[in-house]
Amino acid sequence: QVLEARNIDAVAKYIQEKNVRHIVVMVGAGISTSAGIPDFRSPGTGIYDNLAHLDLPDAEDVFDIGFFRNNPRPFYALARELYPGKFRPTVAHCFIKLLHDKGRLLKHFTQNIDCLERQAGLPGEMIIEAHGSFASQHCIDCKAQFPDELIKKAVQTGEVPRCLECKGFVKPDIVFFGEALPEEFFLNRHLPEDADLCIVMGTSLSVQPFASLPGFCKDGVPRVLINMERVGGMGSRPDDVLLLGDCDAGVRKFAKALGWLEELEALWEK
Ligand code: OAD
């Protein structure tokens, strides 16, 4: 065992004494719920429990490419609620930015499509958007790009945008079930092997291949889970530390142990 104890103070001590500089962070929708964006699978509040009005055979169909081809309407009914622009980064997002400012972040892997990491000031080259983002959009038939202004307008009105070239349906470049992840994910997925610490936050680790990332960390590399519930085998290794509960509270505890709490609050209040 590398850590003196399986708690966050021991992780903070490890970071400082070993001068840890290659932290990989892996996140999901749970880091954005306090910003007002629902996650997917939390019972009652998650998106998949609240799609009854869309009359889908299966809730995950809303993000299924085969389903979208036949009927893109349910996705666009939901897109209005999820579209970036009206949300503010959370304390958890600011903690990731702080890790970067301190020169300790190797890479940030996100499943989120809300772009809040960028909004928190984390540079684009530090972020692997494993499930794409709303930053661009293409026709699903001829693959032509589609203008930003026009998709924004379509999302606001709930209309399905049509390709200007071939009239095919236009889809934001977020990864649907049945689609490949972006190339940058595959180019960087080995990075957890080089990490000296891994932090997993706000994800149920239930969607592959993202869910397998923490498993690529070498034995003896501490892994911290900050999440409402225990997920994906986290806690199974001797140097795993679990901070179960709200992730904003968890990162505040982590920052306090590192002596960074004031800086974290200052970043968040900016
Ligand atoms: P999920 O909804 O599956 O999981 C969110 C996790 O965060 C759960 O374990 C919650 O308990 C936890 N959580 C929620 N709020 C929290 C909070 N304030 N503090 C701490 N933990 C909290 O979301 P993801 O794991 O991101 O993919 O889902 C993965 C993928 O499934 C998504 O990217 C999306 C979805 O289908 C696609 O659409 C392709």
Cα–Cα distance, 227 to 144 (Å, whole number): 39
Q: What is the pLDDT of residue 97?
A: 98
Q: What spatial distance separates the first Cα and last Cα of the chain, rounded to whole Å?
A: 39
Given a cut of 90, whether residue 234 has pLDDT beyond it is yes
Q: How far apart are CA 16 and CA 38, in angstroms?
A: 35
Say whether the ipTM exceeds 0.90.
yes
**109-119: buried (b, 16+ CB within 10 Å) or exposed (e) per residue?**
bbbbbbbbbbb
Ligand 1, atom nearest to 47 Cα? 2
Q: Is the CB of 77 under 6 A from ligand 1?
A: no
50 Cβ closer than 6 Å to some ligand 1 atom:
no
pLDDT of residue 121: 96
**One-letter amino acid for residue 63 of the chain:** F
Residue 80 has pLDDT above 90, yes or no: no
Q: What is the dihedral of CA 186, 118, 123, 65, to 10 degrees?
A: 20
Q: What is the average per-residue pLDDT within 139-165?
A: 94
- Determine the pLDDT at residue 18: 97
Give the model's pLDDT for residue 85: 79
Which residues is 225 bridged to in the sheet? 200, 242
- Model pLDDT, residue 81: 82
Mean pLDDT confidence for 64-85: 91
| pLDDT value for 54 | 86
Which DSSP symbol is given to 222? Answer: -
CB atoms within 10 A of CB 258: 22
Q: Which residue is it, tokens 């692997």? A: 128
Q: What is the per-residue pLDDT for 158?
A: 83
According to the annotation, is 111 in a ligand binding site? yes
d(CA 267, CA 244): 24
How far apart (Å, rounded) are the C-alpha atoms in residues 13 and 19?
A: 9
Is the model more confident about 259 or about 85?
Answer: 259
The pLDDT-based confidence of 62 (bands split at 50, 70, 90) is: very high
Nearest-angstrom CA–CA distance, 119 and 90? 10
Cβ within 8 Å of residue 123, ≥6 positions away: 100
Structure confidence by residue, pLDDT tens digits, 105-134: 999 999 999 999 999 999 999 999 999 998
Does the pLDDT at position 69 exceed 90? yes
Average pLDDT over every residue of 197-218: 97
Catalytic site includes residue 22: no
- What backbone phi and psi angles, to 5 degrees, belong to 68? -60, -40
Return the H-helix or E-strand segment holding 101.
helix 91-101
**What pTM did the predictor assign?**
0.96
In the reported structure, the alpha carbon of residue 260 is separated from the centroid of ligand 1 by a whole-number distance in angstroms of 27
Q: Is 247 annotated as a binding residue?
A: yes
Top pLDDT among 118 and 270 is at 118
Question: Is residue 135 pLDDT above 90, yes or no?
Answer: no
The answer on pLDDT for 9 being more than 90 is: yes
Q: Which amino acid is at 12?
A: A
